[in-house]
A = this chain, B = another copy of it.
Amino acid sequence: MRLTAKSEYGLLALIDLAVAWNGGPVSTRDIARNRDIPPAFLEQLLATLRREGLVIAVRGARGGFVLARDPHSISALDIVEALEGPLAPTVCAAQAICGREGTCAAEPVWARVSASLRNVLGEFDLASLAERQALFDAAFTVPTPEE
């Protein structure tokens, strides 16, 4: 079982945007460099996230992307669902194909997997992830007091 690289890249990118929250827009190029993501691919992902209403694009020179709303109100689930579509662990969890809807003992298994997955992803919000990331970044950045 796996989520695709889209989710992984998308979450990283939006953590970076959350870190820069209240600052100016961040360009795909900067994020791609920072996170080692193929730039053109990341651009596509951010375009999707814009269409899904999670980020706002600022075009032109010195442009980039900004979170569309407060980082507290964006969860990992929002990002994953925006990039991967609805989260169903199996075909059968989405639609009964065996003609046994309601009479198949396997049904609750997939239902509970799906619910638990959504639940866990929903618990992570960008604000806390960004906070944690900022701590990590600070620990590995030499302070430059002369600036």
Contact = CB atoms under 8 A, between A and B. Distances in A.
Contacts of A139: 103
A98 B36 contact: yes
A35 B129 contact: no
Contact of A117 (B7, B99, B100, B116): B116
Interface string A69-92: 000000010001000100111111
Contacts of A123: 112
Given A1-B3, A2-B89, A11 B120 contact: no
A105 interface: yes
A140 to B, nearest CB: 7
A1 to B, nearest CB: 5
12 contacts: A1-B3, A1-B84, A1-B87, A3-B89, A3-B110, A4-B90, A12-B106, A36-B99, A109-B124, A112-B123, A113-B117, A116-B116
